[in-house]
Chains A and B, each alone.
Chain A
Amino acid sequence: MELEKFSYDNRLPKLFAIATITWGALGMLLGAIAALQLAFPILNFSEYFPHLAFGRLRPVHTNAVIFAFVGNGIFTAVYYSLPRLLKTSMWSKKLGNIHFWGWQSIIVLAAITLLCGMSTGKEYAELEWPLDILITIIWVIFGINMFGTILTRRERHLYVAIWFFIASWVTVAMLHLVNSFELPISLTKSYSWYAGVQDALVQWWYGHNAVAFFLTTPYLGLMYYFLPKAAERPIYSYRLSIIHFWSLIFLYIWAGPHHLLYTALPEWAQSLGTAFSIMLILPSWGGMLNGLFTLRGAWDKVRADPVLKFFVVAVTCYGMATFEGPMLSLKNVNAISHYSDWTVAHVHIGALGWNGFLTFGMLYWLIPKLFNTPLHSRKLAGTHFWIGTLGIVLYAVPMYWSAFRTYFMMKSFTPEGQLQYQFIDIVQTIVPFYVLRAVGGLIYLTGVIIMVYNLWKTAKAGKFVAEEEMEAPALVKNYKAPKGSFWHSFIERKPLMLLVLSLIVVSLGGLFELVPTYLIKSNIPTIASVKPYTPLELQGRDIYIREGCYNCHSQMIRPFRYEVARYGEYSKAGEFVYDHPFQWGSKRTGPDLARIGNKYPNSWHFNHMYDPTSMAPGSIMPSYPSLFDNELDLSTTNSKIHAMRKMGVPYPNGYEATANDDLRNQANAIANNLKQDKIEIPSSREIIAVIAYLQRLGTDIKVTTVTAK
């Protein structure tokens, strides 16, 4: 058979690897700073840089680690492994370059816009609509390049790693499109198309599956390629890898509602989420064991090779996190973990252990190959391994401890039936754990810096191999499979079919989960007293979203005695019908705000936002002095009201024209009310809008109770 000559391009894998390391170190640094801000609020520097307050910094950290660090890690792996597994060059270098620079521009723009407070208010999908569109374009370019490569391959069969890449690509595309459905009101601001319960369900269907199909499945592809490579032996069981693949992508997509247990989400959807989450243990552990068993009889290699050490801990962390995940979806466990530091510990086992260590292992293996030289220092890599492991433990243990401590303190009542602890008492006792967690994170980061040095020295010592020449026979056209050949290899030979099949498998879950929630729209109980926000409250709500308050405050009271006693009547689905986007939150570093309205006088909020410790001594909330200087932007009211009405919020026709009059009246009333408490502030400042919004929260239902009486 005639051999065709071609070459593997190493330039793009190198660029993506550099980006992975750079954004990784930066994203982790931001994480450490955010962690320290929780322990030492002064580090928010609110007086000087309102852009760096925790509420804005934390989304930059999460987005940087997920989409910049892990994202570039995925692309490094794909651009290196795909041509090699398929015996061909990447389809287009030009598209590869556009992909690389496009993705890095998105990252930079994301960091800038998030720090400027341009946020949709939906976790891990905070980027505003122009960036959402840019992401879509770059993602499609990546897909075209990937499929172009697959279609021009010289190896008939697609190795299992490629299936994981394909399924990840198509599912992330679907998730991104569905969740980013929003109505722009300006270049930098949009409202989620969905409201309340629907928005929550779509968001967590997205949020959960972003973990699944961005942080997990592409990294499984990475594992199935680099682990056998580093161990120099095939994967333990190829059969198991197929079961792993299909059952994982089938099950994952259904499990989203486990993020919303005990909320106002329908019971059946919660149970469905739990059932599928429990079933997820099986494929996940199948995959973990497949990885670990690959090293059977080769554990002596693990002792000597830092790459394998990183892989072993990464795969073990995958096993731990995927056991913990289903446990967290049990309602009784979730009652403890939800809104607590347990969730934070859980995701960091995944991020630091699974994604981080797998990436480090890949880089320690890849950089010497790209520069055709041995690793500068195996010993330093070993040091990195131990420091990193210690960092993970020191990060996770305080968070678990803090979660349980919080839970027991939250739910303890005095014999007289009163809550034993104020929220602020609990905050005070867990601050030391925040310090320890930051120390754990900094130790982990130290390991990363050691890696940067080690890889830098390696690259310096070697010479970059830009192209690797190869030759292989072309594929035979009109190929007929030998008799008795397995149907799966048929699917495998047809990549487009694999794409379509995996899309069907993942969209089934989406359809079954989401469609009923669309149907309920007509059945949703419009609690008669729940009214749209006033223009001033709406503006205040957008400031609440801009400052990222949802990062620390939930707006969803669960039906537990200790929550109802602390925060008030539990939340009802009908209360959120005008919330575009929903702001239920996922973590309570501060107290729930669902019924904060009318709990305190306006002056309390005024003083509290200016200096939280003045009203709540020991508070770790940042202060927001800029809200007291900034003039509220009234020019947007018109388009905001208009957009809301378009999405079904019943503002009267033509209300846009008079909305600002109502806004000023309400603002003046609040300013006058503050005057009675000897506080002088012009009614045009942003803080007035924030107070208006906070005072409205959860009060609609109180009106019903009063009228009912």
Chain B
Amino acid sequence: MKFSTYLEQIAGVSIYPVVSLAMFVLFFSIVVYRIFLMNKEEIRHLENLPLKD
């Protein structure tokens, strides 16, 4: 018998992969959305940090 057969006895185990995917998509969308709101001046400062030391 397959291992997954026994695993199915855990209540709601199938939700795990779905929840994890949903969490990532949500997290990723927020990061991308906010990044495009970034201020250009600030980016210029940040990206030049290694060149200024």
Given contacts A229-B50, A247-B31, A485-B42, contact A573 B17 (CB under 8 A): no
Q: Is A401 in the interface zone, CB < 8 Å from B?
A: no
Mask, A231-244, CB within 8 Å of B = 1, is 01111001100110
> For chain B, which range describes its interface: under 10, 10 to 19, 20 to 34, or 35 or more residues?
35 or more
What are 16 A-B interface contacts by the 8 Å CB criterion?
A: A159-B46, A161-B50, A197-B3, A224-B50, A264-B3, A275-B21, A485-B42, A489-B42, A508-B23, A516-B7, A519-B10, A520-B7, A523-B6, A523-B7, A524-B6, A525-B1
Mark B19-53 against chain A: 1 for CB-CB distance below 8 A, else 0. Answer: 11101100110011011111100110111111101
* Distance, CA A686 to CA B25, complexed state (A): 55
When chains A and B are docked, how far (Å) is the Cα of A85 from the Cα of B24?
A: 31
How far is B29's CA from A587's CA once the two chains are assembled, in angstroms? 39
Given the interface pairs A157-B45, A250-B27, A525-B1, the reply to whether A85 lies near B50 with Cβ below 8 Å is yes
User: A509 and B3: CB pair below 8 A?
Assistant: no
A268 touching B16 by the CB < 8 A rule? Answer: yes
Contact A486 B53 (CB under 8 A): no
Cβ-defined contact, A234 with B1, below 8 A:
no
Q: Which residues of B contact A344 (CB under 8 A)?
A: none
The yes or no answer to A360 lying at the interface (CB within 8 A) is no
Known contacts A197-B3, A272-B17, A225 near B50 by CB under 8 Å: yes
Residue from the list A239, A276, A505 in contact with B38, Cβ < 8 A: A239
Q: Evaluate contact between B19 and A512: CB separation under 8 angstroms.
A: yes
| CB-based nearest B residue for A273 | B17
Bitwise, A504-531 to B at CB < 8 A (1) or not (0) is 0100110010001001100111000000
Given A84-B53, A235-B47, A271-B17, decide whether A488 and B10 contact each other with a Cβ distance below 8 A: no
Confirm or deny: A99 has a beta carbon within 8 angstroms of a beta carbon on chain B: no
Prevailing SS type, chain A contact patch = helix
Instruction: For the complex, give the distance between the alpha carbons of A271 and B14 in Å.
Output: 11
Q: What is the chain A residue whose CB lies nearest that of B28?
A: A247
Per CB-CB distance, the 8 closest pairs between chain A and chain B, nearest first, are: A84-B53, A234-B47, A267-B4, A573-B3, A159-B49, A238-B47, A486-B38, A266-B7
Query: Contacts A239-B35, A485-B42; is A266 near B4 (CB within 8 Å)?
Result: yes
Cβ of A120 within 8 Å of any chain B Cβ, yes or no, is no
CB-defined contacts of B1 to chain A, threshold 8 Å:
525, 572
- Quick one: which of B17, B27, B46 contacts A238, CB cutoff 8 A? B46
Residues of A within 8 A of B7 (CB): 266-268, 516, 520, 523
Q: Contact at B51–A486, with CB atoms within 8 Å?
A: no
Nearest to A270 among chain B residues (CB) is B4
Chain A window 245-261, contacts with chain B (Cβ cutoff 8 Å), 1 for yes, 0 for no: 01100110010000000
Residue of A nearest to B43 (CB): A238
